[in-house]
A = this chain, B = another copy of it.
Amino acid sequence: MILKHSKQRDAIKGFLMTRKDHPTADVVYSHVRKEFPNISLGTVYRNLTLLSDIGEILRIRVGDGIDHFDATVEPHYHFVCTKCNGVSDLNLDSLNQINEFADASFDGHIAGHVTYFYGTCPDCTKKTLS
């Protein structure tokens, strides 16, 4: 199916690009609504799904049962704060060697892995100390 240009899709992608905290569909919705008061949550979901299908954004699942979205599509790892539940990026080299490590003792074929780290984010660490 051929894509047609859409202002709503532009706004969704544009908003995501301004954010480093991997917002949920609901957060995207509430912000894009400032520019498009009549936009529907269904449109937000449809475009987030479309954009991730064509590889322009990432859909991230970090165990809270809610999908998060990320405009940075280059492979990278994520961090989830167990205090504020925030999601952020980690500046970390690829851990692809763990695929071979796992493959060594496995009878099938390992193509990749999904990893996220958890703990206390910089902000919550500061708050704990003060």
Report A's interface with B, CB cutoff 8 A. 61, 63, 65, 77, 79, 81-82, 90-92, 95, 98-99, 101-102, 105-125
How many copies of this chain are found per oligomer? Answer: 2
Supply 7 A–B pairs (Cβ within 8 Å), ascending by A.
Answer: A79-B110, A90-B102, A99-B117, A108-B120, A111-B119, A111-B120, A112-B119
Contact across chains for B108 and A124 when beta carbons are under 8 A apart: yes
Contact across chains for B108 and A63 when beta carbons are under 8 A apart: no
The interface residues of chain B lying within 8 Å CB-to-CB of A106 are 79, 90-91, 122
The interface residues of chain B lying within 8 Å CB-to-CB of A123 are 108
Chain B proximity of A34: nearest CB distance (Å) = 29
The interface residues of chain B lying within 8 Å CB-to-CB of A116 are 113-114
